Amino acid sequence: MILTPSQTLDIFHRRVSTRYYDPARTISADDFATILECGRLSPSSVGSEPWRFIVVQNRALRDKLKPVAWGMQATLDDASHVVIILAKKHARYDSAFFDAIVKKRSNNDTEAQRIYQRYRDFQTNDLRIADDERALFDWACKQTYIALANMMTGAAMLGIDSCAIEGMHYDSVNRILSEEGLLDAEDYGVSVAVTFGYRARDIAAKPRRPLAEIVRWAE
């Protein structure tokens, strides 16, 4: 099914950050599986897919997160689903993580070596992140935001509301997830969170700058 321009924009106009959810409404298993698929099928730099999705449905765990996740304190009780997106650490071109990517994308040793060289040049010379652990993690986090946006847009297409969350004490959230056995802090770290559900009240139209202010054509 191909949407018209009008239908496409209607979805984007409907999608607004939702901070009050209807606790009586729950997203169906099929709909939420579709939202997760929107994340899984998302593109990422060099096909790295450096993400993990933790779906936090356990009420006791949500309560533990409240004191340190101020950006969703008001919605942890009422949101149908809460997802914390993790980003890969140490995603350097010569890591086992990247070796698996190269093997997946190559058909023989010669092609694998060519791809490996390209990724090394990419991280070392183009982005200049290969020797900076924080920069490598930030690069991985960038990729998770693509998945985040696709999950939120996919949700809007299903009539489901959402809100992206950065408002949290990251060290504390990492610690809590580690203690719960949901996160290996050596391999992954928290990138961003997102809540899903059905809005409990009308939400004013979101203000956005006009295209004339943000687009410049190079013709």
pTM: 0.96
Give the pLDDT confidence score for residue 87 in this predicted structure: 98
Residue 198 reports pLDDT greater than 90: yes
Q: pLDDT tens across 158-167, in order?
A: 999 999 999 9
Q: Which CATH architecture has domain 28-201?
A: 3-Layer(aba) Sandwich (3.40)
* Cα–Cα distance, 166 to 170 (Å, whole number): 9
DSSP secondary structure, 81-135, as one string: EEEEEEEES---TTSHHHHHHHHHH-SSHHHHHHHHHHHHHIIIIIS--TT-HHH
Q: Look over the chain and give the mean of its residue pLDDT values, rounded to a whole number.
A: 96
The residue ranges of every structural domain in the chain are: 28-201
Q: pLDDT tens across 124-175, in order?
A: 999 999 999 999 999 999 999 999 999 999 999 999 999 999 999 999 999 9
Q: Is 60 exposed, middle or buried (0-12, 13-18, 19+ CB in 10 A)?
A: exposed
